[in-house]
């Protein structure tokens, strides 16, 4: 079913935690124009989710108030309208959600080249290292050795985007290789035999 906005469901179709992500997306998009100072008024924002009952409408209000309590949204009264603004914290959450929703497309044919991603992050960045490593695994890269990952398809732009997001791009190296001495193991892991 859904609403008139691509990817946005009706209020009844949301599972726990999903609604807040889409509220941030809509406010952040300026229907929600990126970087817009004013989003649509709060009532219009609720109506986008097409609530069919007072219970569903209340659920959306609760999600908005939750985001406000977490300092991700602010409300501003102007005349008879209530406007919703994305805070810096909300903007950061929106970008982080976008990073975790990124995925790699796998080409139909392998170009017989290996992509090797290496990183050497300072020890003070352990949480960033773990998050970066998890995202590489989420993309489908396989660990070659500690802080070295391998992938058989082009992934430079995606890896660079994630590295820039975490602020570690100067510590990340990307290599394209035509041969590696233990390729058979990875040919099996990536189902390239």
Determine the pLDDT at residue 4. 55
This prediction has a pTM of: 0.69
Domains of the chain: 11-98 (1.10.10.10), 105-189 (3.30.70.240)
CA 190 to CA 22: how far, in whole Å? 34
Q: How far is CA 80 from the centre of its chain?
A: 35
Q: Which ranges in 4-75 belong to alpha helices (H)?
A: 18-29, 42-48, 54-69
Q: Among residues 89, 93, 81, which one has the least CA distance to residue 39?
A: 81
Q: How far is CA 78 from the centre of its chain?
A: 32
- The CA R_g of the chain, rounded to the nearest whole Å, is 21
Give per-residue pLDDT as tens, 11-51: 778 777 788 888 888 887 765 333 333 444 666 777 778 78
Residues composing the chain? 193
* Rounded average pLDDT over 54-82: 86
Give per-residue pLDDT as tens, 73-108: 988 887 777 788 889 998 888 888 888 888 998 888
First to last CA, the chain: 42
Q: Among residues 67, 55, 50, which one has the least CA distance to residue 9?
A: 50
Burial 169-179 (b: 16+ CB within 10 A, else e): eebbeeeeeee
CA 80 to CA 117: how far, in whole Å? 54
């Amino acid at each position: 079913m859904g609403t008139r906005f691509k990817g946005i469901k009706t209020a009844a179709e949301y599972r726990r935690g999903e609604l807040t992500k889409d509220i941030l997306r809509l406010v952040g998009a300026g229907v929600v124009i990126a970087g817009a100072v004013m989003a649509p008024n709060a009532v219009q924002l609720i109506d986008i989710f097409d609530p069919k009952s007072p219970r569903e409408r209340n659920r959306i209000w609760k999600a908005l108030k939750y985001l406000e309590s977490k300092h991700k949204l602010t409300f501003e009264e102007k005349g008879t309208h209530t406007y919703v603004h994305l805070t810096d914290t909300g903007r950061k959450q929106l970008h982080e959600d976008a990073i975790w929703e990124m995925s790699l497309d796998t080409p139909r044919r392998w170009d017989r080249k290996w992509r090797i991603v290496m990183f050497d992050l300072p020890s003070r960045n352990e949480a960033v290292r773990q998050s970066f490593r998890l995202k590489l695994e989420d993309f489908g890269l396989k660990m070659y050795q500690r802080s070295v990952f391998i992938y058989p398809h082009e992934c430079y732009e995606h890896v660079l985007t994630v590295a820039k997001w975490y602020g570690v791009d100067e510590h990340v190296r990307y290599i394209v290789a035509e041969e590696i001495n233990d390729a058979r193991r990875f040919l099996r892991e990536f189902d390239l035999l």
